[in-house]
Amino acid sequence: MSGSATSLTDLYRQTVLSHSRHPHNRRRPQVYDLEAEGHNALCGDKIHVYLRLQDDVLADVAYEASGCAISLASASMMSDAVTGKTVEATRQSIDDFLTGLSSPQTGKLEGELAALGGVRDYPSRIRCATLPWQALCAALDAVQETVTTE
Amino acid sequence: MNSSVNHPATVETGRLLSPPGFDVEAIRRDFPILHQQINGYPLAYLDSAASTQRPIQVIDAISRYYTHDHANVHRGVHTLSHRATDIYEGARESVRSFINARSTREIVFTRGTTEAINLVAATLGQRLTAGDEILISAMEHHSNIVPWQMLCERKGTILRVAPINDQGELLFDEFEKLLGKRTRLVAITHVSNALGSVNPVREIIASAHAHGIPVLIDGAQAIAHQSVDVQALDCDFYAFSSHKMCGPTGIGALYGREALLETLPPYQGGGDMILTVSFSGTTYNELPYRLEAGTPHIAGAAGLGAAVDYLRQVGMDNIASHEAELLTYASNALSALPGLQLVGTAAHKAGVVSFNVDGIHPHDVGTVLDQHGVAIRAGHHCAMPVMERFGIPGTARASFAFYNTRAEIDQMIDALRLAIRMFA
């Protein structure tokens, strides 16, 4: 059982709260090459990810989303983290993030994403953090149907 | 004396003004689970609409059954089988008496409300044909929507939905307009789990009956919160779950008017629902056994029987009165918080408050409250069409039972204040 006050500020760190209040790249772009939707049936979180490719690089990563602070912050940080990366490097980032959340021993959350580490102590909230990344993965795979974290 | 009106607020905050003879602290002592710390705070369990907790009397009844009395029912020649049968059938009689059914033949044990509704959809639904209509309301739980949608897929029947207003009340005139020549059943909730609205079920039933249409009431959210008299209601089916009335999970009941149950084909096939089986043909058992195939949840019935006895001892009028007071107290306290909107403000409500806080997703509200020992539900409450109606992804929902106190509501309000500061 987690101690309440410290653990709560560990989940909702300032970086997380700041991204959730003002999510970066939250928009529907005019032009995009790939897209995918993600849906968490448990809490109703929804995200639609749009990607624009320039050669093999993610030139623009945007999304429309409605959801909790954790999912919005995760989407915002994700868009910052992978914009400008190659598809291959992005896939590596997705892997690193998902591993970093599920197994803190072997994985590591890079840069700002470390602020989402508090989610590990809240099993019911991990899916909130992973949803945008799964939608990103689905977009790269050009999977058209809605992915779900259920 | 059981007054159903709210008592004047002459008590200090955090203490409950109870109906005479109603001692909430004594009641709480019967519920072992309530006495624990969650994340360093005393547990404030405000999620009884999802599932109530159980008094020790229910836990003991189940334990006693398994310790001393277990065997299969309706089969054995031996003593334990007789005892198990007596306990199982005794629970049926307790349930009959609790809802004032005419006969135990009208009480069919199921796995819960969901199975009870599915039973009606499967059996009564079997004789429907394409173009026949089922009428529900816009405030139904998924369990009173999806079985009918599945029936529509199988049979080509049509699902009609009576609308609700912005307060979460059924639009009765619109409901009446939807009662038509092809309406074969009205299936409607007694109390909305997401909004707390109490439907005018007597009027609904009378109106449907005037057209010769039978009515199923989803009583999951009503059964433990007010007295239910199926004869006074004059309903044709009434479905409810044990776990929402202080009994164990995995059991519930379908009340069905005997004359109507008699006309239903069997639901599932198997043991207990037959009289004779041969490869040339099978004869079915009488009611209610015809609709209960297989070895039932005997321990569940033992617990449900004890739960009914417990509720009767506390008194349904006392329960209704205490919960009405908690609802008023909570609604006032919540409304006073900045940026808080109540969702569901029907004139006639049960002990359920759904709400949203500006800038804070219900899921985050739920997590912050949990960290302060307060258990509420966050999300769509298995009523996604209701959320769609109000244009919101979900709500935070606090729901009350007779073992709750004002102090627990105060604990929730304090945690909400902190959440508002944190996310502001």
3-state secondary structure A29-97: CCCCCEEEEEEECCCCEEEEEEEEEECCEEEEEEEEEECCHHHHHHHHHHHHHHCCCEHHHHHHHHHHH
Contacts by residues B163-167 (CB-CB < 8 Å, ≥ 24 positions apart):
B163/B137, B163/B138, B164/B137, B164/B138, B164/B139, B164/B197, B164/B389, B167/B197, B167/B344, B167/B345, B167/B346, B167/B347
> Does domain B58-312 sit in CATH 3.30.1330.20?
no
Please give the pLDDT value at position A3: 45
Residues B192-203, mean pLDDT to the nearest whole number: 98
Please give the pLDDT value at position A146: 60
Percent of chain B with pLDDT over 70: 95
Whole-number average pLDDT of chain B? 94
Q: Quick one: pLDDT band at residue A44, thresholds 50, 70, 90?
A: confident
A64 touches chain B (CB under 8 A): no
Tell me whether residues B423 and A2 touch, CB distance under 8 A: no
Please give the pLDDT value at position B5: 39
Please give the pLDDT value at position B275: 87
Residues B314-330, mean pLDDT to the nearest whole number: 97
Please give the pLDDT value at position B248: 98
Tell me whether residues A44 and B394 touch, CB distance under 8 A: yes
B3-7, B197-201, B298-302: segment of lowest average pLDDT: B3-7
- pLDDT tens-place string over residues A9-32: 889 999 999 999 999 999 999 999
Q: How far is CA A53 from CA A29, A65, A83, A146, B397, in A?
A: 13, 21, 10, 21, 43
Could you write out the DSSP letters of every residue in B238-253? EEEEGGGTTS-TT-EE
Domain boundaries, chain B: 24-46+316-423, 58-312
Tell me whether residues A4 and B41 touch, CB distance under 8 A: yes
Percent of chain B with pLDDT over 90: 88
Please give the pLDDT value at position B424: 80
Q: How far is CA B276 from CA B89, B208, B261, B293, B375, in A?
A: 22, 39, 20, 14, 50
Residues B78-96, mean pLDDT to the nearest whole number: 97
B417 touches chain A (CB under 8 A): no
Please give the pLDDT value at position A108: 79
Alpha-carbon distance B149 to nearest alpha carbon in chain A (angstroms):
20
Strand partners, B45: B375
Handedness of CA A55, A58, A60, A61 (dihedral sign): positive
Q: Quick one: pLDDT band at residue B205, thresholds 50, 70, 90?
A: very high
The boundaries of the domain holding residue A45 are 4-148
- pLDDT tens-place string over residues B355-405: 999 999 999 999 999 999 999 999 888 999 999 999 998 999 999 999 999
Of the residues A10, A19, A42, A43, the best mutation for testing chain B's interface (the one with the most B CB atoms within 10 Å of its CB) is A43
Whole-number average pLDDT of chain A? 88
- Both tokens assigned to B141: 């739980």
User: Domain of A55: which CATH number?
Assistant: 3.90.1010.10
CA gyration radius for chain B?
Answer: 22
Please give the pLDDT value at position A143: 53
* Active-site residue, selected from the candidate residues B152, B235, B246, B382: B382
ipTM: 0.86
Tell me whether residues A4 and B363 touch, CB distance under 8 A: no
- pLDDT tens-place string over residues B47-76: 999 999 999 999 999 999 999 999 999 887
- Is pLDDT of B9 > 60? no
Tell me whether residues B361 and A17 touch, CB distance under 8 A: no
Q: What is the CATH number of domain B24-46+316-423?
A: 3.90.1150.10
Q: Domain count of chain A? A: 1
Which residues does chain A have within 8 Å of residue B367's beta carbon, measured at their own beta carbons? 8, 11, 122, 125
Phi-psi region of B265 (alpha: psi -120 to 50; beta: other; left: phi over 0): beta
B389 touches chain A (CB under 8 A): no
Tell me whether residues A7 and B363 touch, CB distance under 8 A: no
Please give the pLDDT value at position B253: 98
Q: Quick one: pLDDT band at residue B13, thresholds 50, 70, 90?
A: very low
- Is pLDDT of B18 > 70? no
Tell me whether residues A7 and B371 touch, CB distance under 8 A: yes
- Is pLDDT of B218 > 50? yes
A118 touches chain B (CB under 8 A): no
Handedness of CA B403, B405, B411, B414 (dihedral sign): positive
Q: Which residues of A49-72 are buried (b: 16+ CB within 10 A; e: fewer)?
A: bbbbeeeeebebbbbebebbbbbb
- pLDDT tens-place string over residues A119-140: 988 888 899 999 999 999 999 9
Which residues does chain B have within 8 Å of residue A8's beta carbon, measured at their own beta carbons? 367-368, 371, 422
Which residues does chain A have within 8 Å of residue B364's beta carbon, measured at their own beta carbons? 12, 68-70
Minimum-distance CB partner of A4 among B372, B379, B393? B372
Q: How many CB atoms lie within 10 A of CB B90?
A: 14
A44 touches chain B (CB under 8 A): yes
Strand partners, B277: B282
> Active site includes B382?
yes
SS (H, E, C) A83-115: CCCEHHHHHHHHHHHHHHHHCCCCCCCCHHHHH
Please give the pLDDT value at position B371: 95
State the count of interchain CB pairs (< 8 A) between A and B: 61
Q: Quick one: pLDDT band at residue A107, thresholds 50, 70, 90?
A: low
Please give the pLDDT value at position B17: 52
Residues B295-305, mean pLDDT to the nearest whole number: 97
- Is pLDDT of A80 > 60? yes
Residues 6+ apart with CB under 8 A from B162: B135, B136, B137, B138, B170, B171, B174, B175, B178, B188
Q: Quick one: pLDDT band at residue B125, thresholds 50, 70, 90?
A: very high
